[in-house]
Amino acid sequence: MKQKEVTELIGTGYIGMAIIRRVSAGRHVILFDHSEEKALKAAKQSENARV
């Protein structure tokens, strides 16, 4: 089984999302936030940002 690298982000604020975009190229990203709504919004934005 091939293993993938994973990056976790706790808190989906603007700075964290900017950093995660830089360091997570080619990795799976796991987003955590106190607000489920914010986490889902950040995940959707990240999905739309793929090239």
Q: What is the pLDDT of residue 50?
A: 60
pTM more than 0.85: no
Beta strands of the chain (E only): which ranges? 6-10, 28-32
Q: What is the pLDDT of residue 25?
A: 84
CA distance 39 to 14: 12
- What pLDDT, in 10s, does the model give residues 1-51? 678 899 999 999 999 999 988 888 888 889 999 999 999 998 888 877 664
Q: What is the pLDDT of residue 46?
A: 81
